[in-house]
């Protein structure tokens, strides 16, 4: 069974909604929730997620909101935190990672933390049995792919193309997948540009998909009630889970 990871922006449009949506997604086929930490300059994310980030910050999002959301959701649905390094660094990683583990969060996804710098925190992650998700991109050399994925934990985040999330660009991913799988048995999940229309072909040869902008697009529709947003996101999750399997 191929896996579905769903990204949602924490605290958007509000904290209680994030909890309700996350639990509904868990019941609709989502295997792992990726809680995005709102950040003022989310450089790896497309315009939809960037807009949701800004709206969450404008509404007063604080890091403690992420902790409160995770305390309720993480015991019920496999949970990761996705954010830019500064967001986590400001919380003191030596204290934050044990706290996250206590909340039953299982790892971090940090798109702006290079592999070489992440090695500085390798023991901290290992000592807490906590994953730091590795990224590989089509621009990486085979030697770099080997280095990055050799000790990858939980899953490998395979960037489907060079660019930002949500733009739907198509590429032949098979040579890239072959290079990754040559050096690691860790599951490979495809991210960037994955939606109901693209999931079926993007997942070929991979072990799962990561979907963000397609969910956030629904959340940004002001014409929908909270109930409608949750219903449409849940339906989308079911469709994608069906498409990839």
Q: What is the DSSP string of 224-240?
A: S-HHHHHHHHHHHHHHH
What angle do helix axes 15-26 and 63-73 make, rounded to 10 degrees? Answer: 30
d(CA 132, CA 123): 11
Active-site hit among 27, 31, 41, 45: 45
45 as an active site residue: the answer is yes
Q: Which pairing describes strands 78-82 and 107-109: parallel, antiparallel, or unpaired?
A: parallel
d(CA 43, CA 233): 25
Widest Cα–Cα separation across the chain: 49
Provide φ and ψ at 9, rounded to 5°. Answer: -80, 120
Active-site hit among 31, 34, 68, 140: 34
Containing H/E element for 147? helix 142-149
112 as an active site residue: the answer is no
Active site residues: 34, 45
């Amino acid at each position: 069974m191929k896996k579905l990871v769903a990204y949602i922006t924490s605290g958007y449009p509000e904290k209680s909604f994030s909890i309700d949506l996350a639990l509904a997604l868990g019941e609709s086929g989502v295997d792992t929730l990726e809680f995005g930490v709102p950040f003022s300059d989310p450089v790896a994310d497309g315009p939809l997620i960037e807009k949701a980030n800004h709206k969450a910050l404008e509404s007063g999002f604080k890091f403690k909101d992420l902790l409160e959301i995770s305390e309720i959701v993480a015991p019920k649905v496999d949970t990761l935190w996705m954010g830019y390094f500064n967001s986590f660094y400001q919380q003191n990683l030596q204290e934050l990672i044990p706290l996250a583990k206590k909340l039953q969060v299982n790892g971090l996804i940090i798109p702006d933390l290079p592999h070489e710098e992440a090695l500085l925190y390798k023991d901290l992650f290992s000592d807490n049995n906590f994953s730091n998700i590795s990224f590989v991109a089509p621009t990486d050399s085979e030697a770099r792919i080997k280095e990055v994925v050799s000790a990858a934990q939980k899953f490998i985040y395979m960037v489907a193309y060079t660019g930002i999330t949500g733009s739907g660009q198509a590429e032949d991913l098979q040579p890239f997948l072959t290079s990754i799988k040559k050096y690691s048995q860790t599951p490979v999940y495809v991210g960037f540009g994955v939606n109901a229309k693209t999931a079926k072909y993007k997942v070929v040869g991979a072990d799962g998909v990561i979907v963000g902008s397609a969910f956030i697009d629904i959340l940004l529709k002001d014409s929908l009630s909270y109930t409608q947003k949750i219903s449409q996101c849940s339906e989308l999750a079911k469709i994608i889970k069906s498409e990839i399997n």
